[in-house]
A and B are shown apart, each in its own frame.
Chain A
Amino acid sequence: MARPLLVIEDLNKSFGALKVTDQLNVEVEEGECHALIGPNGAGKTTLIGQLMGELKPNRGRILFDGHDITGLSQARRVELGIARSFQITSVFLDFTAQDNVILAAQAAQDHNFRFWGRARRHPDLRAASQRYLDRVGLGAAAQSRAADLAHGALRQLELAMALALEPKLLLLDEPMAGMSVQESRTMTDLLKSLAGTKTMLLIEHDMDAVFRLADRITVLIGGRALATDRPDAIRSNQDVRTAYLGEGDHAGA
């Protein structure tokens, strides 16, 4: 049995009367792709916020790689090896695709209070950038301004940036959001190719993708974990069916 890389213990977060995370316990094992599904408002994105350190939980602990990271800053978490992608594409629009990835790659090196040398001419950074762009299939668009890229390409760029941080854990917040069927499939293949090499926590509404990618699935409803199990077990779980899948059609979610 693989050891857990990420442990969420009794996590609670509320905004006023609204509980967005409610006594949540989840373990993500090293090397697995762990999917998090649930209807809108189930508290998936706010959970990512808490894992990244953007939001402070009201109670509970988050353990990562043996460290208690509950009180750590975002920067420290990234240093320890957590990276995320955003549900709504969030890149540096005025920069080229290459610059975007250079920024991620140099973040991984962590000596950036360098005021002199020209960052864009740094051979290692350029090479690393190109490698990750190739990896996500954007190699040809390296010199395009991010603002000029199509939506699907931007999603790929997001992923390249997250990968360039060389994280131990990837938090993927709906990587397929807004993609065409074709783009979705390409992205799923890409993520599939990472399976086993990267630990991933995946939030996704595209159930085909989830069931193709996930090693385990946690179903989140109202901030609580309804069930955590292997995909086929989830598919046949009666509670899940009634509460969530039972509605039959998830496309509107």
Chain B
Amino acid sequence: MTFWPPSRPTLIVLIGAVLLLLLPPIAEALRQPFVISVATRVVILALVTVSLDLLIGFGGMVSLGHAAFFGAGAYATALLTQLAAAGKPLVWGWVPPVEGLAVWTIAIVVAALFGLVIGALALRTSGFNFIMITLAFAQMVLFLASLRELGGDDGLRIPVRNTVVGFSIESQTALYYVSLVALALYLFLCDRIVHSRFGLVLQAIAQNPRRAHALGYRVYSYRLVTFVIGAAGAGLAGALIANHARYVSPDLLMWTRSAEIMIMVILGGKGTLFGAVLGAAVLLLLEEFLIGLTEHWQVILGPILLVVVLTARRGLFGLLAGSRGGGGGHG
């Protein structure tokens, strides 16, 4: 593959990246600081959408429980940061730091551990039953989040945002750029993965698991590792959303959230990774626009999404990029 002139998908990604980089100064210039807050949400949800695209678009694992990992990351961050701010120890006299790189790493690990346990059990099934068992496990995690010790239905407030290598991210713009960097890193990681040997096997499994078995691949292990990587990405997004809202509640883990993330994947085009960013942006902005239009905005959103699912089978990225670059998942 040559880098210049860039292919159409590459060009779209480049343009998108430049737009995202320039967004805060433009919003400031237009005196619309609220836009930065919305954009931060878009970037964070794009991150969790990319992580689900890795599962659905490349691993063929239609998980309806992805919000569980998003929530796990958010709750881990909220709890640690609360303790850190209050100077209280978590265990054995260890007081968590306010530093994001430490807290978020723990959040990622927590989400990944949830992914490991849930994935290990859920991947024994496939098809419809897999969809349902991931949903069921997510509902169990939702129950954990509703525990009184974790704030119950009232959720947890986070007094301060984390720092990043010692710098404050209290300003919306700082958090925006941090989220953007996280998204870029995760996208890069996923892009490498899907084109690696591992990724090739993963996509092969999604297309034809029986054949992959017959080639001697340990299908279960490949799927499980991917499931955990996806959960970790969702956990990172959760850590960021906790910082963005300074608040976590069980609503983060509702099954409707999982469905919403799935819609973002489809809207952007599954198996495209970068499309996930587009899907998250378009859905959130569409919601933002419709909310401004009418109180009953969902009555418009529903049919729009239905039409998208029925018609745009390759999603927005496919629409923009023409033919798909590189091998994607099973269509």
Which A residues lie at the B interface, using CB under 8 A? 52, 54, 73-75, 77-79, 83-84, 86, 90-96, 99, 102-104, 106-107, 110, 112-120, 122, 161, 165
Are A119 and B214 neighbours in the complex by a CB distance under 8 Å?
Answer: no
A105–chain B nearest beta-carbon distance, Å: 10
CB nearest to B225 among chain A residues: A113
Are B214 and A74 neighbours in the complex by a CB distance under 8 Å?
Answer: yes
Contacts of A92 in B (CB 8 A): 203-204, 207-208, 211
Are B192 and A116 neighbours in the complex by a CB distance under 8 Å?
Answer: yes
Contacts of A118 in B (CB 8 A): 195-196
For the complex of A and B, 3 pairs with smallest distance between CB atoms: A78-B216, A119-B197, A107-B215
Residue B35 lies at the interface, judged by CB distance under 8 Å to chain A = no
Are B208 and A75 neighbours in the complex by a CB distance under 8 Å?
Answer: no
A99 with B213, Cβ < 8 A, contacts A94-B207, A120-B195 known? no
Which B residues lie at the A interface, using CB under 8 A? 192-193, 195-201, 203-204, 207-208, 210-218, 221, 225, 327-331
Summed over the interface, the residue pairs from A and B with CB atoms below 8 Å come to a total of 96
A18–chain B nearest beta-carbon distance, Å: 22
Are B208 and A119 neighbours in the complex by a CB distance under 8 Å?
Answer: no
Are A75 and B207 neighbours in the complex by a CB distance under 8 Å?
Answer: no
Contacts of B203 in A (CB 8 A): 92, 94-95
A106 with B197, Cβ < 8 A, contacts A52-B214, A75-B218 known? yes
Question: With A and B bound together, what is the CA distance between A106 and B213 in angstroms?
Answer: 14
B216–chain A nearest beta-carbon distance, Å: 3
Question: With A and B bound together, what is the CA distance between A128 and B225 in angstroms?
Answer: 27
Are A115 and B215 neighbours in the complex by a CB distance under 8 Å?
Answer: no
Are B215 and A91 neighbours in the complex by a CB distance under 8 Å?
Answer: no
Are B327 and A91 neighbours in the complex by a CB distance under 8 Å?
Answer: no
Are A103 and B200 neighbours in the complex by a CB distance under 8 Å?
Answer: yes
Question: With A and B bound together, what is the CA distance between A99 and B211 in angstroms?
Answer: 14
Are A95 and B215 neighbours in the complex by a CB distance under 8 Å?
Answer: no
Contacts of A119 in B (CB 8 A): 195-197, 199-200
**Which single member of B196, B200, B331 contacts A116 (CB below 8 Å)?**
B196
Are B204 and A112 neighbours in the complex by a CB distance under 8 Å?
Answer: no
A175–chain B nearest beta-carbon distance, Å: 14
Residue of B208, B214, B330 contacting most chain A CB atoms (<10 Å): B214
A107 with B217, Cβ < 8 A, contacts A90-B211, A95-B204 known? yes
Are A90 and B208 neighbours in the complex by a CB distance under 8 Å?
Answer: yes
Contacts of B192 in A (CB 8 A): 115-116
Question: With A and B bound together, what is the CA distance between A165 and B211 in angstroms?
Answer: 13
Contacts of A114 in B (CB 8 A): 196-198
Question: With A and B bound together, what is the CA distance between A107 and B215 in angstroms?
Answer: 6
**Which single member of A75, A84, A117 contacts B217 (CB below 8 Å)?**
A75
Question: With A and B bound together, what is the CA distance between A90 and B210 in angstroms?
Answer: 8
A113 with B198, Cβ < 8 A, contacts A74-B214, A92-B208, A103-B215 known? yes
A99 with B200, Cβ < 8 A, contacts A92-B208, A93-B208, A161-B215 known? yes
**Which single member of A73, A95, A165 contacts B207 (CB below 8 Å)?**
A95
Contacts of A79 in B (CB 8 A): 216
Are B327 and A99 neighbours in the complex by a CB distance under 8 Å?
Answer: yes
CB nearest to B196 among chain A residues: A115
Known: A74-B216, A90-B214, A103-B215. 16 other contacts (CB 8 A): A75-B213, A75-B218, A91-B211, A92-B207, A94-B329, A94-B331, A99-B327, A103-B204, A107-B215, A112-B217, A114-B197, A115-B199, A117-B197, A118-B196, A120-B200, A161-B215
